[in-house]
Structure 1
Amino acid sequence: MMSTLEAVRISRGLTQIMLARAASVSQTTISLLESGHSTASTASLDAIAAELDVPAALLIPPAPPVQLLHTMKESVPARVTKRITAEFTLAFLRIERLLPVTRHTIGTPDIEDEPASAQAERLRLQWAAAPGGVLDIVTMLESHGVICLRRDLSGTRVNALAAKSGRWRALMFIDPRADAEDASWAVAHELGHLALQEAMDGDQEDRAEEFAGEFLAPPIRAPEVARRRCRRR
């Protein structure tokens, strides 16, 4: 689990050595603080906080646990994954302070080996989604407790990423540079990760794609087609 200090440091684009030099402390001090194996003097903590431009009190409490659900491609550098994890960690910290009771309402699979498409249909029913395609998936997610934020996802090779902290708290990062259609699909894909997390295995990305297709644009059932024809007469 990433510490609050590590998350803030990474979000500022600093290495441990860079921060240690700027704050006039040793790299060992930074390393031990980030791993939770040491405490710093008030003077050292104040110096570190000043360099990071945050209150010293922010660096003391443990950070919330963060789990990225997307399997990053092998070509994505580890430093990019760390940067995104740090940004999720800080976002969850802010949410704990501003919206402490926010909980998502995404159910988990209760049928073993249930197809991803069936789980998508089940979630649409649970959320009382209107028949046909989803026109605004971001608004839908936020109305059910998934907080969506615009974040630069450069280097990740995706247009959206989801993470959870604990059982009932979820965040979605959406790249503001993505066009609306690509962003909607990416968000639906990440929603698949959140909905299917308890049943994911090696083919999780394929299952998330299957979920996204069914959730965004479910096939029109025969009775629904008949009803639409009647309404047009």
Structure 2
Amino acid sequence: MSSSAAAVAQAFAPARLTMARELAGLRKRELAGLIGRTAAAVSQYELGQSRPSAATLTRCAEALDMPVGFFGVGRPQLRLDTTQAHFRSLRATTAVRRQQALAHVELLWEITDRLDQVIELPPVDLGLPLGIPHGDASRTAQTVRKAWELGTGPVVHLVRNLEARGIVVTRIPAVDAATIDAFSSALHGRPTIALSDKGNPMRRRFSVAHELGHLLLHPDPAPGSPTHERQANAFAAEFLMPAAEVRPLLPTPVSVPALKEIADGYGVSAAALLYRGKDLGVYGESTVRRTMATLTALGWRTDEPVGSDHPGEQPALLRRAVELATEHGLSLARLAADVHIGLPRLRELVGIPNPRPRLRLVH
């Protein structure tokens, strides 16, 4: 048993065990089974009512794929809960999966905070101040487009535009993508939009715009609120498909090939453009139902072909920040050591491909 495990056990931070367990997507009883303790004992550790022994802490580190040093005190830690983030539905996903996604953002905050000490990340400036309601969703979208000097036409490089304005966009690893599209939070000063791999790039672009709407329209999150969701959708629709531009372009009568061509140009799905036409009074309910049946038959509800103009936008801010920090003396290994995580996890969090394939012995 290493002396470091004994030292960390004496300076144990209960919230770190909770965070690591949530990152692993484990319930307390599941972690207890992996370390040979009871669920009650794990609860006591996390509540600070007792401390794990060095041997138990070592087993925790192995079970949760974290260095033992991760569980020590002395580092700032962000704590998020469901009420502090914009989740679309509380019924569509389990509490365990939500907490896993939130823990990802918590850890990412620590990395961002450390990087901010070495290099200057872009200031948060979306054209409108955060933290106050901005009223009508469509007018807010128009104001932001004007502030960003986007002019007419599609929003090119949506993620890059957000990152240039200080918003951290991240991909959620190891989270059930079937239940989480995206979520966002502005609690910690630098807003974060977290995306899963659910859907194709067009759907993810709409999700990013949707979360931007939440950040601007809803300073007090209300997860699962139908009103908030409608407003965020209205913002995203006007931001990506301005009514004044797309209304005259919509094919009447509706034609799937023509609809698809326009949707590709604006970087949205054919279904999103169809519903935009419905909201603008161009298409009626029966037209939407009939066209959606065609899109379903084509398999486009889940796997729509992606236009060449929008092959998929990948977050790059943190990866570039890490590269710049490396040039100024903060190596990747040093950054991982500072936040007490392994290099593979750090690479995954900031979007740097792992140069070494992970091999496994097959029995």
TM-score (normalizing by structure 1) = 0.76
Kept in 2, the 8 Å contact 1:5–1:34? The answer is yes
Counterpart residue type for residue 193 of structure 2: M
Corresponding residue for residue 228 of structure 1 = none
CA displacement, residues 80-135 of structure 1 (integer Å, 9 cap, x when unaligned): 2222222222222332233456453242375x672011222222233333433212
Counterpart residue type for residue 57 of structure 1: G
The alpha-carbon distance between structure 1 residues 5 and 96, as it changes in their structure 2 partners (threshold 3 A), is farther
CA distance in 1, matches of 2:114, 2:67: 15
Pairwise CA distance, 1:149: 2.0
Matches within 5 A, 1:1-233: 3-61=15-73, 63-66=77-80, 67-99=84-116, 102=121, 103-106=123-126, 107-108=129-130, 114-151=135-172, 152-158=175-181, 160-166=182-188, 168-198=189-219, 202=225, 203-220=227-244
Corresponding residue for residue 322 of structure 2 = none
Deviates further, 180-189 or 26-35: 26-35
CA distance in 2, matches of 1:213, 1:12: 35
CA distance in 1, matches of 2:221, 2:187: 17
Q: Which consecutive residues of structure 2, in runs of 5 or more, have no partner in the other structure?
A: 1-13, 246-363
TM-score (normalizing by structure 2) = 0.52
Moved over 6 A (4+): none
The alpha-carbon distance between structure 1 residues 196 and 54, as it changes in their structure 2 partners (threshold 3 A), is same
CA-based RMSD: 3.0
Counterpart residue type for residue 79 of structure 2: P
Kept in 1, the 8 Å contact 2:86–2:221? The answer is no
Counterpart residue type for residue 182 of structure 1: R
Pairwise CA distance, 1:181: 1.6
CA distance in 2, matches of 1:109, 1:41: 44
The alpha-carbon distance between structure 1 residues 109 and 216, as it changes in their structure 2 partners (threshold 3 A), is farther
CA displacement, residues 19-71 of structure 1 (integer Å, 9 cap, x when unaligned): 23433444334213323444444454344223323123322346303332123
Pairwise CA distance, 1:148: 1.6
- The structure that is strand-richer by fraction is 1
State the percentage of identical aligned residues. Answer: 26
The alpha-carbon distance between structure 1 residues 32 and 186, as it changes in their structure 2 partners (threshold 3 A), is same
